Structure 1
Amino acid sequence: MRRRRNLILQGPPGTGKTFLARRLAWLELGATDAARVELVQFHPSYSYEDFVQGFRPDAHGQFRLQDGILVNFCQRAGQDPKRPYFLLIDELNRGHVARIFGELLLLLEADKRGPAHAVRLPYSPAGSPPFFVPENVYVIGTMNLADRSLAPLDYALRRRFAFVRLAPGFDEPLRQFLAARHVPSAIIQQLTTRLHQLNQTIADDPDLGPDFCIGHSYFCQPPASPVEAANWLRLILEQEIAPLLTDYWLDQPAKAAQQQKKLLSGLLDG
């Protein structure tokens, strides 16, 4: 992140990408300073006009030139150059990223920051001050690799980011996390064993693969009482994981049913 200033956390759903993005920002800031962190989520109808600048209706229904989230954020960061600022982009690949970013493709590069590389924005009238990305702005994006409807990232954008892959974590750290919250050891053993086995099946499937594995964040909010742990696990497996498997093997209902049975059979009652 410090080397490239632009980082993308990518991985299967439920691997804590947004959670980690926010905490990376807080770690670098040294505080949970909301004024220096901006979160935006891309989606298919999100546009350059929303993100950078464009004509949008005001409170009176009249169209006028308005700065988007990026420009406002960079202006704030430029007024406070000695401290880092973080722009977090959730679900980055759900938007048309090349269209949304526009000339930011150039300005995002670590060696193209600052007023020396400023450009005039397309919507800005003549005489307007040019736009640049301050050196103290960091961008952290998240990408869900399991969404089959999304096209690969534009290569021009891809080479401006560093990529870090997150994987499901059903190992010792999760065990310790749940044990510290008084989840019985037998429940923890069932959870981790079954999810390890399921993820291996998903990873080995030629139509799915590792990008479709189940993440650990489904299980990061255990109940306050240990006696509720068995029902907590059962409900997550029945109501969240099992329906996902139906979607994964939509054209193989027998395989979906088989994996659901293996996941749910013989669960502890308490």
Structure 2
Amino acid sequence: MKPRIIKDKEENMKIELKTKNIMLYGAPGVGKTHNYKRLITMIENGSDEKTIFDTISKNENTDNFDSSVFKNIEKENRLEFVTFHQSYSYEDFIEGFRPQDNGNIKLEDGIFKILCDDAKINLFKSVDNKEILFNDALNLILKEKIENQENVKIDLKRNNSFYNIYDYNDKTIYFEKQNGDKSHTLSLKTLEKMYYEGTNNIINGGLAPYYNPLLEELLKLKNKSKVEKSELKNFYIVIDEINRGNISKIFGELITLIEEDKRDDYEVTLPYSKEKFKIPSNLYIIATMNSTDKSIATIDIALRRRFTFLKMEPNIDLVPDIAKELFSKLNEFITNNLGEDYQLGHSYFMQGLDLEFVKEYKIKPLLEEYFYGDDKKYKEALYILNIKE
């Protein structure tokens, strides 16, 4: 996949990163979670790949960048943050059946699928086209009659059967079957996806007979007028503690689709909804991983080869002078006995440092865990910890 050159609102040339899946990893307290904001800001500003990776790898002060860029991404709902854990599942991430307040079970999209669908719609709107937007087409069919409290009759084209749409909002279309049954609804998100992909093959069975005739009516309007091209935008999902989740269980069949050269082209059929699903090229997956976590040894090899790893290391320049000597000696001791992946991060010694409190209630318990079962090494570490400045 070749990097695309895009323009921002000021017509400045920007290079779209080839790397879409980035893993920030390192010991506790090195600023993995803190640095993802700078990383996303640099991507959004169109910095080239080398500049981004070199800057983040230095792990310098992350507060000296324009935070308004990141806040704007959040405001436009182009970013989602999720933390993986042992109970996190495919149903949380992609799609699954969920109990409702009324006792029914309903198929709901997960956080990753929702964000992918939003990114795909933006991708469609950003290219030159002569097609009317989905919301405009839907309003042409429904808005006036619904506002006048009239039903919209949709023929099912089988045995003279039909259904009536009696209301809709930004998420759901409410309809009544010919026999008076109102227990089912149509998802606006699903219908919108079918509209932009121009196909009714996204869903099979179930409610497909009710989606398809409405889709046909919408597609008749699709080429009625020319619409202005929208700005291509990036979407981001940040996965904290990614190695704590069961990757095969959470990503399922989508683990292949996240590869950069599979974006936009390869698709799978989702097992629950039977929808055809792709991952768009304007979606970035930013993940963090704690290198001291014992679960790192079991991280899925499929995940390893699909991410570009960016190591975050402790930076003594960010440690106050009062704690520099302690910081250096502890990390030298830890490196010699456990390895560099277990070093203390600089964040333990930042933000209004009360050194005695940090030593007693943050670092000491961590050392106890590090040297569990080795009293000799633990006592040696405590001796260093009790150095008086």
TM-score of Structure 1 vs Structure 2, range by shorter chain: 0.7 to 0.9
Instruction: Give the match's secondary structure for 2:344.
Output: coil
Letter in 2 for 1:92: I
Distance 1:95 1:105 in 2: 14
Give how far 1:84 is off: 0.8
Letter in 2 for 1:216: H
Query: What does residue range 194-213 of structure 1 map to in structure 2 within 5 Å?
Result: 194-205=326-337, 208-213=338-343
Distance 1:54 1:5 in 2: 26
Letter in 2 for 1:204: N
What per-residue deviation string (whole Å, max 9, x for no partner) do you get for residues 165-216 of structure 1?
Answer: 111111x3x15xxxxxxxxxxxx334111111111111111xx211111101
Instruction: Give the match's secondary structure for 2:122.
Output: coil
Letter in 1 for 2:26: G
Instruction: Give the match's secondary structure for 2:81.
Output: strand
What per-residue deviation string (whole Å, max 9, x for no partner) do you get for residues 109-143 of structure 1?
Answer: 111111x3222111124xx4x11111100001100
Distance 2:334 2:252 in 1: 37
Structure number with bigger Rg: 2
Aligned equivalent of 1:93, options 215, 238, 243: 243
Contact map agreement 1:120 1:131 (CA 8 A) in 2: yes
Contact map agreement 1:8 1:141 (CA 8 A) in 2: yes
Distance 2:103 2:359 in 1: 48
- Coordinate RMSD, CA, aligned: 1.7
Give how far 1:41 is off: 0.4
Aligned equivalent of 1:17, options 32, 39, 55: 32
Aligned counterpart, 1:65: 107
Letter in 2 for 1:62: N
Distance 2:119 2:301 in 1: 28
Segment of structure 1 superposing worse, 101-110 or 52-61: 52-61
Give the aligned length. Answer: 239
Letter in 1 for 2:329: Q
The TM-score with structure 2 as length reference comes to 0.59
Aligned equivalent of 2:121, options 79, 84, 92: 79
Instruction: Give the match's secondary structure for 1:262.
Output: helix
Instruction: Give the match's secondary structure for 2:86.
Output: coil
Distance 2:237 2:290 in 1: 18
Contact map agreement 1:49 1:55 (CA 8 A) in 2: yes
Contact map agreement 1:92 1:143 (CA 8 A) in 2: yes
Instruction: Give the match's secondary structure for 1:117.
Output: coil
Instruction: Give the match's secondary structure for 1:56.
Output: strand
Letter in 2 for 1:238: E
Aligned counterpart, 1:236: 358
Aligned counterpart, 2:192: none
Instruction: Give the match's secondary structure for 1:250.
Output: coil
Aligned counterpart, 1:37: 79
Give how far 1:252 is off: 1.6
Give how far 1:149 is off: 4.1
Distance 1:28 1:220 in 2: 27
Aligned counterpart, 1:166: 312
Contact map agreement 2:82 2:240 (CA 8 A) in 1: yes
Aligned equivalent of 1:6, options 21, 45, 55: 21
Listed as ranges, the gaps of 5+ residues in structure 2 are 1-15, 46-68, 124-231
Contact map agreement 1:46 1:95 (CA 8 A) in 2: yes
Aligned counterpart, 1:261: 383
Tell me if 1:221 matches 2:236.
Answer: no
Give how far 1:150 is off: 4.3
Contact map agreement 1:48 1:54 (CA 8 A) in 2: yes
Contact map agreement 2:326 2:387 (CA 8 A) in 1: no
Contact map agreement 1:246 1:253 (CA 8 A) in 2: no
Listed as ranges, the gaps of 5+ residues in structure 1 are 176-187, 223-228
Aligned counterpart, 2:51: none
Aligned equivalent of 1:56, options 77, 84, 98: 98
Contact map agreement 2:257 2:263 (CA 8 A) in 1: yes
Distance 2:310 2:43 in 1: 17
The TM-score with structure 1 as length reference comes to 0.83
Distance 1:59 1:40 in 2: 24
Letter in 1 for 2:342: F
